Structures are given as structure tokens and as C-alpha cells.
Amino acid sequence: MAGINHSTQQQLRLEIMTLATDNHGHLVDSNTWNEQIAIALAKTDGIELGEDHWLVINAVRDIYQLTGETPPMRLLIKELNKRIETEINSRFLYRLYPDGPVRLASKHAGLPKPKHCM
């Protein structure tokens, strides 16, 4: 395609991609997840992902990979506190995800809706 740069071609492919989600907006197939999809999912919630969001998303994905479950808030906080020197608490998570940290982080991580979330 003459005249179109590579980044535009990539953007065009993403715009026509359709992903299956459940009624809550979580990916049906978590294997389709990648960082660009995380950004798109976050946009649907009005969130622009920053460094702290990625810390949480990666922790949620790691816990899910080990346990097969999305983590409850306490386990997520415990894992995050292992990863960084600054103490993390639920207020930190709610500043990132005001409408439900574990649910939204799980959604942006491409994982199912947590069973413990309403």
C-alpha cells in the first residue's frame, strides 16, 4: 500500500478487529489479549492506562496464571506490595480504578469477571 506508513496499517487492522466480550465487557477468550487490547478496553471505561495501571494489570494476570482465578482485593494488594517498595492499599487501587479495582483491572487484563465481584 503506497502512501500509508506501517503504524497507520497497524491502526487500521486494530480498528476492524472484533473481539467477543461477555455482558460485562470482559474478553470471552483471554488468549486474544495483548497490550493494545488492554488500552482499547480501558478506553471503553474512560481510563487511560499509566504505569501504575500496568503494574496492577500485570499482577492480576500473574495471579490468574498461577491460580486460575482473578484475585480478591487483599491478595492483589499483598502481591503488589511484594513488587514495589511503596506501600499499596485499597485507596491506591481505587484512585486508579474508581468503579472497582479488581473488576476493571481484570477486564483490562483480558481476564474473566471476578467471581467475588457483583
Q: Catalytic residues, which ones?
A: 117
For 96, the 3-state DSSP assignment is helix
* Residue 86: half-sphere exposure toward Cβ, Cα within 13 Å: 5
Alpha helices in the chain, H assignment, sequence order: 6-16, 35-44, 51-67, 73-83, 90-96, 101-108
Distance CA(109)–CA(39), nearest Å, equals 10
CB within 8 Å of 77: residues ≥ 6 apart:
88, 89, 90, 93
